[in-house]
């Protein structure tokens, strides 16, 4: 039996809301499940799809043993349709959506219901989204569309307006750490959670790789740029070789922690997302004003948006690091 709620307990509130839709007979034709990358949205969508297709569902979800459940588990259920990019990091093209629409012109093959999961929905190009919109505007009562996205603002407003939105929130830090430690991560849990931006599923996926060392190297480079000890353009050239979303996630977390340190909270009350980097963060925070730090946070958010397009990655990193280097007078050190 697929049980993401059992594996990921923070999904329980979202599961209850989906169950309420069914109990009230108010299941939407389009459902958008949104939330941070690595929080478990895909598992939740899969669990709900299997629940809808199951021949003998219970209050807990799909039975896991009926023929429909076995087909879904094997990835062979004819009425469980998944639309994803043909290659990781690529777009969902209009041809993929058109082939889907052709299949939807036929009746469900196995039961009375059919589920389409589009993941990540924000990967649809403009033509694909427009093609899907036509289908959402003339819904088939036998078909539920589940769109999964960590970037719902990139979806056209017209598509968003056709979907009931369900936000999956990140668990509290202590809950996430407790879960990670239960997965056997031990002392690495805090650093992994920080690297994953607070998303525990992503943190567990990072276990065992070299990302911790790469993160520490980027952090040291970042501090060296602030202290005028290295050339921001040279650092940007190296950063451009890293995954842009990962780098900006780390940067956002580091700057947010600087803001927490600068807010005047007592050490006992201070809860840093990057607790393993606290010593370096405290040194960096000395003399930085909050207004400037919020401006640098805006820089990172703008960079994240630009990296999703065709902008030059190295130029984006150069802009971030040059602005960062200007926070202190040239030659300032500590």
Residues 274 and 190 in one domain: no
Render 241-261 in DSSP notation, one character per residue.
TS-HHHHHHHHHHHHHHHHHH
Rounded-to-integer distance, Cα 242 and Cα 231, Å? 18
pLDDT band at 267 (very low <50, low <70, confident <90, very high): low
Q: What percent of the chain has pLDDT over 70?
A: 94
Residues 163 and 23 in one domain: yes
Residue 334 has pLDDT above 60, yes or no: no
Average confidence (pLDDT) over 294-320: 88
Structure tokens at 184: 């056997």
Q: In this structure, are residues 239 and 218 in contact, taking their beta carbons and an 8 Å threshold?
A: yes
The tens digit of pLDDT for each residue in 19-30 reads 888 888 888 889
The tens digit of pLDDT for each residue in 155-167 reads 999 999 999 999 9
Residues 36 and 151 in one domain: yes
Residue/partner pairs of 152-160 with CB below 8 Å, 24 or more apart: 152/32, 152/34, 152/121, 152/122, 154/122, 154/308, 155/32, 155/121, 155/122, 155/124, 155/129, 156/126, 156/129, 156/130, 158/133, 159/121, 159/129, 159/132, 159/133, 160/32
Distances (CA, A) of 171 to 76, 186, 222, 247, 273: 33, 18, 28, 22, 13
Residues 231 and 263 in one domain: yes
**Which of these, 200, 251, 273, 180, lies nearest to 41 by C-alpha position?**
200
Residues 6+ apart with CB under 8 A from 153: none
Residues 164 and 15 in one domain: yes
Residues 137 and 260 in one domain: no
Q: What pLDDT sits at residue 333?
A: 46
Residues 320 and 185 in one domain: no
Residue 295 has pLDDT above 70, yes or no: yes
pLDDT band at 211 (very low <50, low <70, confident <90, very high): confident
Q: What pLDDT sits at residue 161?
A: 94
Q: How many CA atoms are closer than 13 Å to the CA of 139, on its beta-carbon side?
A: 19
The tens digit of pLDDT for each residue in 150-205 reads 989 889 999 999 999 999 999 999 999 999 999 888 878 888 888 888 999 989 98
Its pTM surpasses 0.85:
no
* Domain C-terminal end among 207, 234, 254: 207
* Count of beta carbons in the 10 Å neighbourhood of residue 196: 27
Q: What pLDDT sits at residue 269?
A: 63
pLDDT band at 2 (very low <50, low <70, confident <90, very high): very low
On the question of a cis peptide bond just before residue 120, with omega within 30 degrees of 0, the verdict is yes
Range of 198's domain? 171-207
Residues 215 and 309 in one domain: yes
């Amino acid at each position: 039996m697929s049980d993401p709620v059992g594996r990921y307990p923070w999904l329980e509130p979202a599961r209850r809301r989906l169950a309420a839709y069914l109990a009230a007979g108010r299941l939407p034709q389009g459902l958008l499940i949104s939330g941070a990358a690595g929080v478990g949205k895909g598992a939740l969508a899969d669990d709900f799809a299997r629940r809808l297709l199951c021949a003998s569902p219970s209050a807990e979800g799909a039975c896991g043993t009926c023929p429909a459940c076995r087909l879904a588990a094997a990835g062979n259920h004819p009425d469980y349709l998944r639309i994803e990019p043909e290659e990781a990091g690529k777009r969902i093209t209009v041809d993929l959506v058109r082939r889907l629409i052709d299949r939807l012109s036929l009746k469900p093959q196995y039961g009375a219901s059919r589920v389409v999961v589009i993941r990540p929905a924000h990967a649809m190009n403009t033509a694909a989204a427009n093609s899907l919109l036509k289908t959402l505007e003339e819904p088939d009562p036998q078909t539920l569309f589940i769109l999964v996205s960590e970037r719902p603002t990139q979806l056209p407003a017209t598509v968003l307006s056709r979907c009931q939105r369900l936000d999956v929130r990140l668990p509290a830090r202590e809950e996430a750490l407790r879960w990670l430690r239960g997965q056997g991560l031990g002392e690495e849990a805090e650093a992994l959670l920080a690297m994953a931006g607070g998303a525990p599923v992503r943190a567990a996926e990072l276990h065992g790789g070299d990302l911790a060392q790469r993160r520490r190297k980027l952090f040291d480079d970042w501090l060296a740029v602030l202290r005028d000890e290295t050339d921001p353009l040279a650092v940007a050239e190296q950063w451009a070789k890293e995954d842009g979303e990962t780098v900006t996630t780390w940067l956002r977390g580091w700057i947010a922690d600087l803001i927490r340190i600068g807010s005047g909270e007592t050490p006992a009350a201070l809860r840093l997302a990057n607790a393993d980097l606290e010593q370096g963060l405290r040194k960096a925070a000395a003399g930085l004003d909050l207004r400037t730090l919020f401006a640098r946070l805006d820089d990172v958010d703008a960079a994240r948006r630009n990296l999703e397009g065709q902008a030059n990655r190295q130029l984006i990193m150069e802009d971030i690091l040059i602005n960062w280097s200007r926070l202190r007078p040239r030659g300032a050190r500590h």
